[in-house]
A and B are shown apart, each in its own frame.
Chain A
Amino acid sequence: MKKRKILWLIPSIAFIILFYIFPLVNTIILSFINTEEGSFTGFENYISIISDKKNIFAIFNNLTWLVSFLPIIIIISLFISIIIYNSKYSVLIKTVLILPISISSVTCGIIWKLIYSYQPKGSPQVGTLNFILSLINREYIPHAWLYETPLNNFAIMVIGVWIWTGLCVVIFFLGLNNIPKDYIDSASIEGANNINIVFKILIPLLKKEILAVSIFLFIYIFNLFDLIYITTGGKLNTEVIAMRMYKEMFMGYNFGRASVLAVFIFVMIFPIFLVKFLNLWKR
């Protein structure tokens, strides 16, 4: 009986080996190969990737995203979900917020390129943002949001926040709904004010959801490519590691170097997976 049960697992195991384990092992092997000659090259690809300033800069950009984008989106999403927690318009707000996720990243990039569009001072501003700011302040000097360093990295992050906030709000909102109302009522009766309730009851009880969202965003940040590709094409210090990988692979036609970057992304993401997996295993 037990043997038969194992038989049912064969297709899934075969699928995982074929489409996950094999490509992973193959990528690791490729990272040690000189693609020009097809020979084993040891750590040469790794050394050449590390010694390339562009890659270091791309890693730095990913880390900038990690320390800015991730906390910002969590704080904003938590704030919105707590604000709308008892609101009768919560469904409407959630629906509106989650809409961008149904649009492809490429389209989002194009929409925001129009929003950020820049015309020189004195010309009518076509970009929504510069237009609004010039209405508010007549002396306003328009910004080329996507082309001014280091402002441009943050301008792209705003697009990311716009896309993913809705989903994070929905996850936090579900978490809030799972918190028994008694906890909040008891705290109120004991004299806790709203701030205390948020920081000492709601947020600690949302730990699992915050962790889930953080893992998801962490993976998103290290796989980030399309938004950058569409908005700035990686120019003016906006390049990220996945973009470097694309260029090494498809422009440089260098599988070895591209695989090193793929291995780097894997190494960054894998420990997070491992922690989550071990947590589930313990349960």
Chain B
Amino acid sequence: MLKKVILIIFLILVINVNYVFLKSNQEEENEVTFLTMAGGFELDIMEKMLEPFEERTGIDVILESSGDVDSLIVTRVESGNPPDVANISSYGLIRKFEERNKVIDMSKFLNIEKLENEFSKIWIDLGTINNKLVAVFWKSVIKGLIWYNPKSLSKYKINIPSTWDELINISRNLKNKGFTPWTMGLEDGSWSGWCGTDWIEDILLRKYGPKKYVEWYQGKLKFSSEEVRDSWLEWGKIAADDDMQYGGRRYSICTDLITTVSPLFDSPPNAFFHHQALFLLNGLKEYYPDFKSIEDYNFFKFPIINEKYKDVIQVSADSLIMFNDSPQARELVKYMISPEAQSYWVSFSNALPPNKKVPLDVYNDELMKKGYKILSESKYIVFDASDLMPPQLYDAFHSAVINYMDNPKRLNQILFELDNIQSKAY
């Protein structure tokens, strides 16, 4: 009997040794593991985008996709099994990884001069934490766009507003005539509320400028400060008013963003404006394949609130970070940020390339070109503030937006609670 037990233990050991041996052999192979948050059609585009790289270098890119990259990456990093390269959007996590020395400083192998030549300063500054270049950006979108149906606006003789006051006046006039000016969708599972945070960020940025905006996400400006509170109240002119939005506040809270676009296309229109980033174009093309850009849907830049800050724009982006320094991983990163890879992405998807060398003629849609024009004409480009806040504050901010829409009278209490979380988060 004892012999059998010893035999079993021996077999287990043999299997383990074999596994370790095979794994170490694998590591010597010409491959790189790449964890991405891209899914669905974006994953197909990415696979196609990586094909020329694989052919040219002979490196096999093992692409892993997950809709919950943040959770997966934390688990894998802590268990000592991170992917070589990962594509994540949570800036808070990148910062945490850097604090724990888990990510590779890419300035060791990237040509900084070339990088500065090809990318705007904002991308390099954002990727640099504690003087280390730990993230590079390969895909971005501009935020703060107001989408509309051009046919509805021309039918009801509505001009594109250039200032916030004009926009509010148009909205109030429409409301007084019995129309619903806006449509909003804040529901997105556990991420619900981010559409509202974008509103507040856009208003704060345009009314009080980039300096206050930066102070705010750095935790130096309180949520209950006059500037931030006022931004909530400005948004409240639309968000806190049931008659200003299709279906009222409750409908906005519990409906997802793409569903709430449909009132724009109803006849007669059930809504005239929708605030969203450029990536709404993806959803419009998927759900309304017969509609045409410019003709059936279009956008204008968030109107000016303070003339001093008319050339500001808010962006968000997907980053690349490296956990294992290998020649294959270095090559992959270099390829992903190259004009070649980003041109491929732009010609098939609806995101803007952070690389300035991507030619305009590869853009697959006129609205993409319009988005690029807005971006290139902006003097101040800032990153989505909530994405830059510590994760616990970011989450609380999302919930606060929902709570505010649920009961706008609780604003003071909501801001006080956010102050509390902010004071502990940094």
Q: Interface on A for B, CB 8 Å cutoff?
A: 4, 7-8, 10-11, 36, 48, 53-54, 118-120, 123, 144, 146-149, 229-230, 232-236, 246-253, 255
Contact = CB atoms under 8 A, between A and B. Distances in A.
A250 B70 contact: yes
Contact of A251 (B5, B188, B391, B403): B391
Given A144-B253, A233-B189, A252 B392 contact: yes
Contacts of A246: 71
Given A230-B189, A235-B192, A119 B251 contact: yes
B169 to A, nearest CB: 25
B254 A118 contact: yes
B71 A7 contact: no
B406 A149 contact: yes
Contacts of B251: 118-120, 144
Nearest to A230: B189
Nearest to B242: A120
B250 A253 contact: no
Given A233-B192, A247-B395, A146 B254 contact: yes
A30 to B, nearest CB: 11
A247 B392 contact: yes
Contacts of A249: 74
A56 to B, nearest CB: 13
A33 B267 CA distance: 60
Contacts of B392: 247-248, 251-252
B250 A144 contact: yes
B2 A7 contact: yes
A36 B390 CA distance: 14
Given A144-B254, A250-B71, A251-B395, A229 B190 contact: yes
Contacts, number: 82
B391 A253 contact: yes
A203 B391 CA distance: 50
B75 to A, nearest CB: 8
Contact of B402 (A119, A148, A235, A251): A235
B96 interface: yes
B70 A251 contact: yes
Contacts of A147: 250, 253-254, 406
14 contacts: A118-B250, A120-B248, A146-B254, A147-B406, A148-B250, A149-B406, A229-B189, A233-B188, A250-B70, A250-B71, A251-B90, A251-B391, A251-B392, A255-B78
Pick the most buried of A7, A11, A235, A252: most chain B CB atoms within 10 A of its CB.
A235
Given A7-B2, A10-B5, A233-B190, A253 B254 contact: no
Given A144-B253, A249-B74, A250-B70, A119 B247 contact: yes
